[in-house]
Amino acid sequence: MSGPAFFQTYMGQRFYESTMPNFVRELKRLNDNVERLVAVAEQLAGRDPSSVKPVAPTPEDSEGR
């Protein structure tokens, strides 16, 4: 294959400098939200559902929105 490598192209630079960091950031947000969801589910499993208070989102959850 001839021509520039992917990272040398405009699309490749955009992928590595923008798309991948955004993907990693969103993956972290997803993980944080799943952890909170599991914590609430564990609380609900052991308590009366009316006694469980919702967990407020952190400022990082709305980052970039």
State in Å, rounded, how far the first CA of the chain is from the last one: 40
**Using one digit for the tens of pLDDT, what is the confidence trace for 28-51?**
999 999 999 999 998 888 865 566
Q: How far apart are CA 37 and CA 12, in angstroms?
A: 36
Q: What pLDDT was estimated at residue 25?
A: 97
What confidence tier does 63 reach under pLDDT thresholds 50, 70, 90?
low
Longest dimension (CA), the chain: 65
Q: What pLDDT was estimated at residue 54?
A: 66
**Which of 50, 24, 51, 55 has its CA nearest to residue 38?**
55
pTM of the model: 0.62
Query: Are 38 and 45 a contacting pair, CB within 8 Å?
Result: no
Domain map of the chain by residue range?
Answer: 19-47
